[in-house]
Structure 1
Amino acid sequence: MLYQIASLLLDVVAGLFGGACLLRWYMQLQRVPFGNPVGRMVFALSDWLVLPLRRVVPSIGRWDVSSLLGAWLIELLQFLLLWALLGGQASLVSLPVLAVFGLLKLALTGMTGLVIVFAILSWVQSPNPMFHVLQRLCDPLLTPFRRVIPLVGGVDLAPLALLVALHIGNLVLGYVQASVLMGF
């Protein structure tokens, strides 16, 4: 029971800070301005790690590698702490691989959350400053679905299709992770 509580708490903390690093990377990739409440929150949660990493790790084109590395390091620390709680029973070599899968799972989960919040805000049609930020973040993923799924009675079903695709991606990721870790 103690391990489950620790795992939950580590998952929440790693999800918050690692998710902020991933969102920082994605916002920069999509050229979304950071002068909004979402951007300020992302900076507040990730500056402590990303800024020192930028001194060592340069960006590659539009890719902010320091934000990605920061998110991966947070995932690695999470798995290292869980490994220590288990008494080092698993192979230490598998932890960087677990961190990569954790990072991919965090990206899929984070995108799922963004799409859900975007869909809800699009139904409400309130003048919310977050709506335009979420729209800029979700539209690149929704556009391919909107090309093939017509509006049904004026309702956009693309977010639902994207959520199904993200869930399938999570299932496939879990299967690939299990297959890869069998080799360790």
Structure 2
Amino acid sequence: MLFQIVSLLLEVVVAILSGACLLRLYMQYQRIPMSARSGNPLGRFVFALTDWIVLPLRKVIPAVGALDTASLVGAFVLQFASFGLLWLLVGGVGGFFSVPILAFFGLLRMTLSAMTAAVIVYAILSWVQTNSVFADVLERLVSPVLAPIRRVVPLIGGVDLSPLVLLVLLQVASIVLGSLQGWALLLF
């Protein structure tokens, strides 16, 4: 019971922090303004959550093109620490090599879950007229992923089904990812 409680709390905290690191990476890649002057409260929130891990990493890990590698490494380090701590709590059962594999797949799973959530919120907000900064940021985050689907899936009766298609594709990717993780853990 204690392990389950610790595992849940650790998963929630690490999910929020590593998810914020990934969001920071993606927002910077999409060139979404995140400073206090931009009026983007989501950007300020993401900076506040991630500066403590990303800024020190930036001193030693340079960006690769438009990718903020420090944010990516920060998210991985958080996942690695989480799975490492859980591995220690179960008494080091299984090989330690499973920890980086679990961290890598945890990061990929987090990316798929975050995109799924963003698409759902985007679809709901598209049904109502909102003139908020949050809705604009969300549209800038989701639109690049929906664009290729929109080129293939036409509007049906004036309704855009591309978010639904993307949600199905994300679920398929999640199933494939789960299988790949199982195979990878069997190898190590």
TM-score (norm 2): 0.95
**Aligned pairs for 1:113-152 within 5 A:** 113-152=117-156
1:86-132, Cα deviation, whole Å (9 max, x unpaired): 11112112211111111000111111111111111111112121111
**Aligned pairs for 1:60-71 within 5 A:** 60-71=64-75
The alignment's C-alpha RMSD in Å is 0.9
1:108 is aligned to 2:120: no
Q: What stretches of structure 2 of length at least 5 have no aligned partner?
A: none
Structure 1 stretch 67-76 or stretch 30-39: which is displaced more?
30-39
Give the total of aligned pairs.
Answer: 184
**Aligned pairs for 1:40-59 within 5 A:** 40-59=44-63
Mapped partners of 2:43, 2:187: distance in 1: 40
Q: State the one-letter code of the partner of 1:125.
A: Q
Shift of 1:2: 2.1
1:127-158, Cα deviation, whole Å (9 max, x unpaired): 12111111111011101111111112221110
Paired residue secondary structure (1:90): coil
Q: State the one-letter code of the partner of 2:2.
A: L
Shift of 1:8: 1.6
Paired residue secondary structure (2:157): coil
Partner of 1:6: 6
Mapped partners of 1:128, 1:155: distance in 2: 22
Structure 1 stretch 116-125 or stretch 47-56: which is displaced more?
116-125
TM-score (norm 1): 0.97
Mapped partners of 1:171, 1:79: distance in 2: 21
Paired-residue identity, %: 55
Structure 1 stretch 123-132 or stretch 69-78: which is displaced more?
123-132
